Amino acid sequence: MNVKVIYRSRKGHTETIAEEIARHCETEALDITVPHVLGEPDLLFIGTGIYNSKPDELLMDYLDQLPVNKIRGAAIFCTAGYGEDHTGLMVSVLEHKGITVYRQRFCCRGRWLWRSKGHPDDEDIKNAGEFADKVLRAFQG
């Protein structure tokens, strides 16, 4: 199965989670701001930070450019200062492109000002790996 992990990270928190997910998928984590070839993966993990209760705008623009009916499935992960998942808009864009989105999403705290200091921490990273394993099992089965 061809698996890719892409992310947009402003402060490195989402990148940390993306790298752990990529490790479990035996692939590399691709920063969307760096030139890369996505191809047509069977499964695409997509990560973003949440800013003002919304996914990163650059990531949303990237998703708008994805081909229609070329990617079989996607799984979403995010980091947020309050640890709240605000990725519903991402799901809508992906489903509109004919991409099946894994029903569970992974969201952990990312440090923002004084909030969530030390996150993502070791437990968050471990949980991200477990999320990746669960998604892989679901898409392979």
CB-CB contact of 97 with 66 (8 Å):
yes
**Nearest-angstrom CA–CA distance, 62 and 98:** 16
Answer whether 46's CB lies under 8 Å from 90's CB.
Answer: yes
Helices (H) and strands (E) counted in the chain, each on its own, are: 4, 7
Beta bridge partners of 107: 78
Q: What is the pTM of this model?
A: 0.93
Exposed/middle/buried for residue 121 (C-beta within 10 Å: 0-12, 13-18, 19+): middle
Read off the pLDDT of residues 107-131 as tens digits, 9 standing for 90 and up.
997 765 555 566 689 999 999 999 9
- Please compute the mean of the pLDDT values over residues 72-84 and round it to a whole number: 88
Ordered by where they begin, the domains of the chain are 3-140 (3.40.50.360)
* pLDDT tens, position by position, 33-50: 999 999 999 999 999 999
